[in-house]
Amino acid sequence: MPFIAIHEYVELRMMRDGRFSYDEAHEIASKIEFRLRCEESGLPLAHGRRLRKSDLPSAADPEVYECVEKHYLKG
């Protein structure tokens, strides 16, 4: 469940703040979700361990979205 919640939150932020279409935001969120499941996302969420429900509030931290912009957006 935490992976899906992160996916949906990132997707929302991409559409709201990044002005991406749903398809673009979904593609990026899917990549992040997959990498989180493999513990390879690079996002400052789980701090070197598997993502837990207790990590979800930190998804709203500005540095998480900044990391998404830096590592997952083209250009």
pLDDT digits (tens, 9 = 90+) for 30-63: 988 887 777 665 676 766 667 778 878 888 888 8
Q: What is the domain count for the chain? A: 1
Q: pTM for the full model? A: 0.71
Question: In whole angstroms, what is the distance from residue 1 CA to residue 57 CA?
Answer: 14
Pick the more confident residue, 69 or 30.
Answer: 30
Residue-number span of the structural domain to which 17 is assigned = 2-72
Angle of CA points 57, 75, 15, to nearest 5°:
40
Residue 59: partners with Cβ closer than 8 Å, 6 or more residues away: 5, 6, 9, 10, 45
